[in-house]
Structure formats: C-alpha cells, structure tokens
Structure 1
Amino acid sequence: MSAASTPRRRADSPAARFAREFAESKLALVGLLGFVVIVLAAVFAPLITPQNPYDLGQLDIMDGRLPPGSAGGWGFTYWLGTDDQGRDMLSGIIYGLRTSLGVGAMSTVVALLVGSSVGLLAAYYGGRVESLVMRVVDLQLSFPAILVALILLAVLGRGVDKVVIALIIVQWAYYARTIRGSALVERQKEYIEAARCLALGDRRVLFRHLLPNCLPPLIVVATVQVAHAIALEATLSFLGVGVPVTEPSLGLLIAEGYGYLLSGDYWISVYPGVALLIAIVCINLVGDQLRDVMNPRLRR
C-alpha cells in the first residue's frame, strides 16, 4: 500500500465525510460556534462572571436598575446593566444559561433513553405491545406539551428536579414514535432476518444490530428537543411554576423585568430574552444541518 493512498482513505472515512458535508452550511457552522461559546460560558460561569448573581452578599441594592455600561459600587462595569436587586445582568444571564442547558440536556438524555427503548421494543415485538405503546404515545402527543408540563408541575411543585421530571414525561413520546417508525423499516431488512436465523437472541439483535441503524433520526430529533426543552423550561419559569426564585433562570429574569418595560428599563427583560433566543437559534441551526446530512434525500 502506498503512502499516498492513506490521506485519501482518511478523507473518505465516515467522520471526514460527515464533517465535510456539515461544513457546507455556513449558518450551521455559525450555530455550532455560538453553541460551543454558550456551553463554555455556562460551564465556566463562576470563573468568568464578575459576581455570583444569586449570592446576596455580592449584591448592592443601591446599584439596582442601572443602565448598561454603568459603573457599580463593586468596582466593575455592569455591561448589560442591573436588575431591581442590583444583580449584574450579564452574570445573571450566564448563570441562567447554565441552568437552562443543564435542564435541557438532562431531560433530553433521559427521555431519549426511555423513549427509544420503549419504541424499539414496540416495533420489534409488534402485536399488542406495539398497539398499547402507540396508543399511549398518541394520547400524550394529542395534548400540548406546555399543558402537560403545567399539570405535572402543579402536582409535583417547583424545583429544578421537578422541571426535569416534567420535561422527561413530556418528551419521551417523540423519541418512541421516531424510533418505532425507523425500526419498522429496518426490521424487514435481510440483516435482521440473518441475525434471527443465527439465533443471536433478541437483546443482541435489538441493541447490536437494530438500534445503531435507527440512530440518525434520533440524533436529529434529540437536537431539536434540546432547544424545545430549554424554551419550555424558560416558559414554565416565566409563568412561576418552574425553578424557584433562588435558582438562576432566564425565564425568571424575563419575568422579573417584564414589569419594568413600560418604565424604560428594557434591559432587565430584553437581554435575557435575546440570550434565550440566540441559544435556541444556534441549536436549531445545528439540528437543521444534521437533518440534511443524515438524510441525503432532503438535499436533492
């Protein structure tokens, strides 16, 4: 084998081909860069923010409702202004993104595991199992997600863990329906029949052969659902049934500043809303390109 053939083979690898096709969209690259910046800012929030916005010892009520660019009593500049409690809005937004990303990622991962397992079993075994699972899925999807989440939180109460549980219950049905449709197609293919003829066992056929070939649509749906979960958490917190007031949340920041819009203190509510919008748009841009790359028929 010649040395000149090695780079070509690497360039033709699935990972290289995926990266090349994903990079064809400049918007997707911008979205990916923005998402990476948001994640890094959220992870390293205690190191990069000038204050902990939820530590009462670091707040000064005399710095309340200062406009963007004002100098505060703590010796640093409030680049995005402060809220009515003297909380630095930039710090509050970064900490709020930390909560939103954590809730969105955790609920999406658990809902993905639960929904994909249930949908995969339903498609593989069929019969009454499939009918029962899909009737439950259809029943849940017939109600708006925000309504289901509101009812659940009215029963469970407020709290980050309660919001995660509510979002898991809201989301799992999307994954169950998605993987069930893909598994029904894959189940009829020859490699599944060959695995059954070799008596490999249902568990091995399900998770070693059937599941890997159903992953592409699941990845796309998961990307979209992360953005949906972040928006839903912010909505629930805005309505006062999500995370408690002692926890950072973009929804709470927007709600707290909503009453000051008419008085001209727009930054208290607008800037957290813009940050939420940017995060959701970045995730959706990445998700749209993933959908196109993983389904070549959409590119025609």
Structure 2
Amino acid sequence: MRIAREFCEDRLAVLGLVLFLAIAAIAILAPWITPQNPYDLAQLDIMDGGLPPGSESFATGGTYWLGTDEQGRDMLSAIAYGLRISLLVATVSLAFAIAIGVAAGTTAAYLGGKVDTLIMRVVDLQLSFPSILIALILLALFGRGIDKVIIALIIVQWAYYARTVRSSAIVETRKDYIDAARCLALSHRRIMFRHLLPNCVPPLIVVGTVQIAQAIALEATLSFLGVGVPITEPSLGLLIANGYDYLLSGRYWVSIFPGIALVATIIAINLVGDRLRDVLNPRLQT
C-alpha cells in the first residue's frame, strides 16, 4: 500500500501507467476492436491504397482515421497489430532474460570465488559491446523471425539482470539470516532462491521496467534495419520502415503514426520505471 500511495503522488507516473495500460489493452484486443486484419490479403482493397487520414473507403464506405498505406492497409489497425508484436517480443524476452540473469547473479554472489569471477567476466565482456551490435551479429547468424529476435534479445539482456542481482545479493549474503540458514544445513538452492533472492527483488523490478522499454526500442531498430521480424508479422519498427520511402512524397502518415505509437509506449514505460526507482530506493527520495 505504501508503494502504491507514493507512486500515485507523481501525476506524470500515473499518466504513464494509464497510457501504458491503454496501449497494452489496444494491443491485446486488436483482433476484436480494429476494423480489419491488416495482414489478411482478403480484407485489403488496392483502391483504398494511399488514402490520407480521415478518408472514406471506396470498398466499404468506412473511415480510415489514420489513413492507409499503398496496399490499402488501415494504419490504425496496422499500429494495433504492430503493438502486439512489439510487446510480445519485449515481454517474452524480458521474462527469460530475468530468469537467466537472476540465476546467474544469485549463484555468483552466493558461491563467490572462481564461480563469481567466471560469471562476472562473462557479464563484463558482454556489457562492453553495444547491445545493437550483438543483436545484429546474432540475427545475421539466426536469420529473421520473431523467435530469432526473442532469442537475440534474451542473450543481449540477461547480463543486466545478472549484475543487478549480484550487487544486491552480495550485501544480503553477509547478513545474519543467511548465516542462520547455513547453520540449519539448508540446501544451497533453498538458501539462494527462497531466502536470498526475495530480498533482491526491488532493484530487479526497476531494471526490468527500464529494460522492457529498451527491448521495445531495440526490436524496433532491428526491424527498421530489416533484420528483425518478418514482413508477414510486422512490428512498429517495420511499419516505420515501410513508410520511410513515402515521406518525401507527402504520405507522412504511413511512417509518422507508427513512430508516435512507438515513442508514446517507450515514454509511458520510462515514466513508470523512473517513479518505481524513486519509490523502491529510499535514498533517492527527498
């Protein structure tokens, strides 16, 4: 209750949370609330291609509030479906990256010695390279596909969580309750994951909130560069790339509106993450 009360004291954070929940709801409910499935060829009409925002359909008489692209694809529907792909890739990769990073970081902090040195050298080596570079190399090896992008993002992100958990866990391992658990001859796995890990969750929540925004941005960048998701299931990044060639011809809506949706999603998540960081870390509170 304290965390919720302090979180709600920041109006920008509340606005970010409401915006993100609205975006997530649109993405989840896209098949039921959008006027068309933009990637079902049977629902597209070439006569509706390139219509500006607010135009009426020649085929159905409906209104395209955000216009259409060259194939007659409703941009409002395309953005909703694109959000589904972007959020799916980000959340799935986040879940697996956290699981791997938590296991590695907790093990390194608890066992220490050579195990800690080995794990942290791998983490340091990975973090010394830009994330986009590692992802590009991996996708050049794996090829395009949603599953390939998810695997690449897991490999890119796990090191952040490993370092975060290790930093918190090292402090906890020196406390009396860990010594008491060892005196009771509890198994290492039980001590690490039932006693040590729960006390490392607050900083993990903050890092996870920030990293999901970074994952969305990274996936959009990869798709924009043509190495991310396939064109049959485009995300926001691929929608922006598809409309890039039409900017100079005046058909700004094909690229600008997906870009606005992407920026709004990232800003909303960052607002929530910044407030959670302040609430969960008393040292940052004034």
Shared fold (TM-score greater than 0.5)? yes
Cα distance per residue 1:157-198 (max 9 Å; x no partner): 000000000000000000000000000111111111111112
For the pair 1:299 / 2:285, whether they are aligned, the reply is yes
After superposition, residues 1-300 of structure 1 pair within 5 angstroms as 16-72=1-57, 73-300=59-286
**Whole-angstrom distance in 2 between the partners of 1:74 and 1:206:** 61
Provide TM-score, normalisation by structure 2: 0.99
Matched to 1:214, the amino acid is C
* 4+ residue segments displaced more than 4 Å: none
**Whole-angstrom distance in 2 between the partners of 1:74 and 1:155:** 44
1:43 CA displacement = 0.7
Identity over aligned residues, as a percent?
70
**Whole-angstrom distance in 1 between the partners of 2:62 and 2:83:** 22
* Alignment RMSD (CA, Å): 0.7
Moved more, 193-202 or 229-238: 193-202
Is residue 148–residue 170 contact of structure 1 (8 Å, CA) maintained in 2?
yes
Matched to 1:289, the amino acid is R
1:75 CA displacement = 2.4
2:246 aligns to what SS in structure 1?
coil
Moved more, 89-98 or 245-254: 245-254
Is residue 54–residue 248 contact of structure 1 (8 Å, CA) maintained in 2?
no
Q: Structure 2 regions of 5+ residues with no counterpart?
A: none
Is residue 97–residue 250 contact of structure 1 (8 Å, CA) maintained in 2?
yes
1:216 aligns to what SS in structure 2?
helix
**Whole-angstrom distance in 2 between the partners of 1:47 and 1:175:** 36
Cα distance per residue 1:14-71 (max 9 Å; x no partner): xx11110110110110010011111111111011000000000111111111100000
Matched to 2:79, the amino acid is I
**Whole-angstrom distance in 1 between the partners of 2:234 and 2:245:** 19
1:84 CA displacement = 1.0
Provide TM-score, normalisation by structure 1: 0.94
1:249 CA displacement = 1.1
Matched to 1:56, the amino acid is L
1:273 CA displacement = 0.3
2:106 aligns to what SS in structure 1?
helix
Cα distance per residue 1:224-265 (max 9 Å; x no partner): 111111111111000000001101311111001101111111
What is the aligned residue count? 285
Matched to 2:251, the amino acid is D
For residue 8 of structure 1, what is the aligned residue in structure 2? none
2:72 aligns to what SS in structure 1?
coil
**Whole-angstrom distance in 2 between the partners of 1:296 and 1:264:** 50
**Whole-angstrom distance in 1 between the partners of 2:155 and 2:198:** 24
1:108 CA displacement = 0.3
**Whole-angstrom distance in 1 between the partners of 2:212 and 2:60:** 37
2:248 aligns to what SS in structure 1?
coil
Q: Structure 1 regions of 5+ residues with no counterpart?
A: 1-15
1:74 CA displacement = 2.0
**Whole-angstrom distance in 1 between the partners of 2:162 and 2:4:** 28
